[in-house]
Chain A
Amino acid sequence: MIPELGQWCMVLALLLAGIQAIVPMAGSYLGDEALMRSARPLAYGQCLFLLLAFLLLAQSFVAQDFSVAYVAQNSNLDLPVAYRISAVWGAHEGSLLLWTLILSLWTVAVAVFSRGLPLSFISRVLAVLGLVSVGFLILTIFASNPFLRHLPPLADGNDLNPLLQDPGLIIHPPMLYVGYVGFSVAFAFAVAALLDGRVDQQWVRWSRPWTNVAWSFLTLGIGLGSWWAYYELGWGGWWFWDPVENASFMPWLIGAALIHSQAVTEKRGTLRTWTLLLSIAAFSLSLMGAFLVRSGVLTSVHAFASDPTRGLYILIFLGVVTGGALLIYALRAPRIAGGPPLGWCSREALLLLNNLLLATACAMVLLGTLYPLLVDALGMGKISVGPPYFGNLFYWLMAPLVLLIPLGPLTRWQGDRWADVLQPLRLFAVIAAVAGLLLAWLSGDSSVKSVLGLIGALWVALGTLVFLLRRVARRQPGRPLLSAEMLGMSLGHVGVAIFIIGVMLTEALSIERDVRLEPGQTETIGAYQFRYVSMRHLDGPNYRADEALIQVLVDDELVAEMRPQKRGYRGGQVMTEAAINPGLFRDLYVALGEPVGANEAWAMRLYHKPMIRWIWLGAIFMMLGGLISAAESRLYRRVRQSAAEGAAGAHA
């Protein structure tokens, strides 16, 4: 009964989404207020039914209704309740439902928080979001239905992929989807603006906070995924340039470019067409990511069980959404650049370079990810493009960007003089270079790339400090020291610096050793002595495990006790649960391999990973920066103002 109800909820949501895609749009062309006003209630209703469908699916998992094929495939009687709930989005079908639900939550948020916007504009925005939702709902209902029955019901289900039985995986996919789907708002605003023919600064002002929030969640989602891969996959790596990771990274890069270009367009009226294009691209790349992950065209460690039929469907959907938007763009985007004249040395020019570098990095990732497909399609055999390609090119593409970051906030709009911009930075450039070399020397890091990286990171951090110092020095009474936007910008840029320091030092200084140890034996890595004390067996709720006890000593003083496990799950899968002793400046990491020989001897991998936490710390700073920028009150003040102006104009 419950699964059938769930199906009906999805069907009703589809109906409402369909109406939401058509009626308000028609109303905006006919000038019919009643039709346009239907957009909001339709969005609320659609969200309600999707929420119900989602809860019903969760209920099927909690109640262990193994007559539902999806439940039977992804959970069993022994699975703890928390993982039964996260199993809802543990595989393709349920995760698609979650994606659709999040889309409708964003839609509701737009409907609620855009009261001040002109009715015709917001009805178009909601109609576009409705259209996107229709696509997802058709895919869910007809090609990936999570409520399908398996009759007769099974006595017990399969197991949730043990890799996913982990707290990190409970929150990683939802955060990632909030980010992906959040770009649909900027997309819808851009399309609505194009349809309106009013591609001035206003739509950008309205869409900026949404973009910032979406990008922040995407940052968080990617960061969580990286952290999860680090502790759960047992390889000690944090980024693999895997197609699925690339699929999430491309919208992130374009999103980062979009945040900056929106700032330019909103404040100065320049880069209008470019901002429109980026708004379309960010969401389109999110959709393309879904295609890459779910169609099976590329092999990946994280991909869902793939299915060409679904792939074809998503491709058609992508064609309609992106192709349609780009067609409207080609027809309606303004042909004449707007805004005031610019100098070579101006913040606009610097941000244009920022956008060029981020977009090129995204193009590089796209090229590398799809190149094997291209080579294969042309019948030139099979090749692999992996981390050596992406890592190198990304480093060199980002190097100039790192150089430019401190300059942007210190340069005036429209025109400035290089001498004035560089003058306060000279001293700090020297400090960054000296401190970077010193840091490299102290830590024993000698690779040119990472020393340059360290100097770059310090340059970004100090450059941001110069900006803050200048604000303090020129503080005017009665005005806040920093606007939310400035604070967000500073946090984000400091996050970049923290991230780079983490990456450079981890990559350059990590020590990894595979050893065979018997109880009582010790292996020394740097200052740390890892002593394998004992091994014991234990039973978990749905697995059995071998657990080693490892004591870590520094100068014969105990600093950590680590308990790595090797688990055998009911379904027969074997998982390693690495033991990690985290620290702000170093992680110790032990993963169990196999028992080798007698005397409880085991193969183990030991790591000393300096500064790895800084990678995720940097991501958190960037996320906070994005969120705080979105709180910029000026944006909302002007939303109200311009809405009032718009209303006044309409009455006149």
Chain B
Amino acid sequence: MSAVLRLCLSLLLGLVLAGRAWAIDPLPFADADQETRFRALVAELRCLQCQNQNLADSDAQIAKDLRREIFDQIAAGRSDDEIVAFLVDRYGEFVRYRPPLNANTLLLWLGPALILLGGLVAVGIHLRRRRQTATSSAKPAPTDDEHDW
């Protein structure tokens, strides 16, 4: 019975994730620039209550409230950085989909570049070596176009 109960519960939780979407909020923007800034901001901020959605897409109450707050702050003339800082102060780094570069995220931002550099070095070494040492099984380079494939 408890297994079934657990099943029901997990399914219920599973359904929670499905239900919401279509956050559609007509807001009276003063100008196109404000609207652009608003859309960029809400797309890069994470809804706290949802599974994994930005504020733009989420229909959770908190997302509506925060969209309204961001709209108000833009209208009040605050900068994007100030608005993000305002939210981070209250909700933590979790709200940013674009993690700032700091000691914690150094590996995140530089990791791919390091991997690429390391890979390039490895490829370079490999090619250098291969130019010098021809192995015994060496095939002649195909000259005929057909064999080229």
The 8 Å CB contact of A342, one of B105, B130, B149, is B130
Cβ–Cβ contact B108 & A389, under 8 A? yes
Q: A268-B139, A341-B133, A386-B98 are in contact. Are A73 and B108 (CB under 8 A)?
A: no
Cβ–Cβ contact A603 & B108, under 8 A? no
Q: Does B52 contact A (CB under 8 A)?
A: yes
Closest Cβ of chain B to A447, distance in Å, is: 12
Residue contacts A-B, CB under 8 angstroms, 28 given? A73-B11, A74-B11, A148-B4, A242-B52, A299-B51, A304-B14, A336-B135, A339-B130, A340-B137, A340-B138, A344-B131, A360-B112, A360-B115, A367-B107, A385-B97, A386-B46, A386-B54, A389-B98, A393-B112, A412-B142, A412-B148, A414-B141, A476-B145, A476-B146, A514-B26, A514-B27, A516-B26, A591-B22
Q: Does A109 contact B (CB under 8 A)?
A: no
The 8 Å CB contact of A603, one of B24, B96, B104, B123, is B24
Closest Cβ of chain A to B19, distance in Å, is: 5
Q: Does A384 contact B (CB under 8 A)?
A: yes
- Residue of chain B at shortest CB distance from A161: B18
Which A residues from 298 to 351 make CB contacts under 8 A with B?
298-307, 336-344, 349
Q: Does B92 contact A (CB under 8 A)?
A: yes
Which B residues from 92 to 107 make CB contacts under 8 A with A?
92-99, 104-105, 107
- Bound complex: CA of A238 vs CA of B130, how far in Å? 43
Question: Which of B8, B17, B27, B109 has most chain A Cβ within 10 Å?
Answer: B17
Please indicate the chain B residues that have their CB under 8 angstroms from the CB of A380 in the complex: 104
Q: A304-B14, A485-B149, A604-B24 are in contact. Are A359 and B141 (CB under 8 A)?
A: no
Q: Does B39 contact A (CB under 8 A)?
A: yes
Cβ–Cβ contact B93 & A301, under 8 A? no
The 8 Å CB contact of B141, one of A352, A363, A413, is A413
- Told that A514-B25, A515-B26, A574-B19 touch, could you supply 14 new A-B pairs with CB distance under 8 A? A148-B3, A301-B17, A353-B123, A360-B116, A380-B104, A382-B92, A382-B94, A383-B104, A386-B54, A386-B97, A571-B15, A573-B19, A575-B21, A593-B24
Q: Does A519 contact B (CB under 8 A)?
A: no
Q: Does B76 contact A (CB under 8 A)?
A: no
The 8 Å CB contact of A237, one of B57, B94, B126, B149, is B57
Which A residues from 81 to 104 make CB contacts under 8 A with B?
91
- Bound complex: CA of A150 vs CA of B146, how far in Å? 64
Please indicate the chain B residues that have their CB under 8 angstroms from the CB of A367 in the complex: 107-108, 111-112
Q: Does B120 contact A (CB under 8 A)?
A: yes
- Residue of chain B at shortest CB distance from A387: B97
Name B's A-contacting residues (CB within 8 A): 3-4, 7-8, 10-11, 13-15, 17-19, 21-27, 39, 43-44, 46, 50-54, 56-57, 92-99, 104-105, 107-109, 111-112, 115-116, 119-120, 123, 126-127, 129-135, 137-142, 145-146, 148-149
Which A residues from 379 to 399 make CB contacts under 8 A with B?
380-389, 393, 397
Question: Which of A301, A575, A576 has most chain B Cβ within 10 Å?
Answer: A301
Please indicate the chain B residues that have their CB under 8 angstroms from the CB of A242 in the complex: 52
Chain A to chain B: the 8 pairs with minimum beta-carbon distance, closest first: A386-B97, A593-B24, A305-B14, A388-B98, A305-B10, A414-B141, A364-B112, A340-B138
Please indicate the chain A residues that have their CB under 8 angstroms from the CB of B138 in the complex: 339-341
Closest Cβ of chain B to A230, distance in Å, is: 12
- Residue of chain B at shortest CB distance from A359: B119
Cβ–Cβ contact A356 & B120, under 8 A? yes
- Bound complex: CA of A237 vs CA of B20, how far in Å? 15
Cβ–Cβ contact A349 & B108, under 8 A? no
Cβ–Cβ contact A339 & B97, under 8 A? no
Please indicate the chain B residues that have their CB under 8 angstroms from the CB of A303 in the complex: 17, 51
Q: Does A114 contact B (CB under 8 A)?
A: no
Q: Does A162 contact B (CB under 8 A)?
A: yes
- Residue of chain B at shortest CB distance from A343: B131
Q: What band does the interface of chain A fall in when counting residues whose beta carbon is under 8 Å from B?
A: 35 or more
Q: Does A592 contact B (CB under 8 A)?
A: yes
Cβ–Cβ contact A341 & B130, under 8 A? yes
The 8 Å CB contact of A381, one of B10, B92, B131, is B92
Please indicate the chain B residues that have their CB under 8 angstroms from the CB of A158 in the complex: 11
Cβ–Cβ contact B15 & A233, under 8 A? no
Please indicate the chain B residues that have their CB under 8 angstroms from the CB of A387 in the complex: 43-44, 54, 97
Please indicate the chain B residues that have their CB under 8 angstroms from the CB of A384 in the complex: 46, 93-97, 99
Please indicate the chain A residues that have their CB under 8 angstroms from the CB of B26 in the complex: 514-516, 596, 603
- Bound complex: CA of A81 vs CA of B142, how far in Å? 58
Cβ–Cβ contact B139 & A340, under 8 A? yes
- Bound complex: CA of A371 vs CA of B94, how far in Å? 12
Q: CB-defined interface of A153-182 with B at 8 Å, one 1/0 digit per residue?
A: 000001001111000000000000000000
- Bound complex: CA of A386 vs CA of B50, how far in Å? 14
The 8 Å CB contact of B108, one of A385, A415, A571, is A385
Question: Which of A306, A360, A382, A485 has most chain B Cβ within 10 Å?
Answer: A360
Q: Does A269 contact B (CB under 8 A)?
A: yes
- Bound complex: CA of A305 vs CA of B25, how far in Å? 30
The 8 Å CB contact of A413, one of B111, B133, B142, is B142
Please indicate the chain B residues that have their CB under 8 angstroms from the CB of A69 in the complex: 4, 7
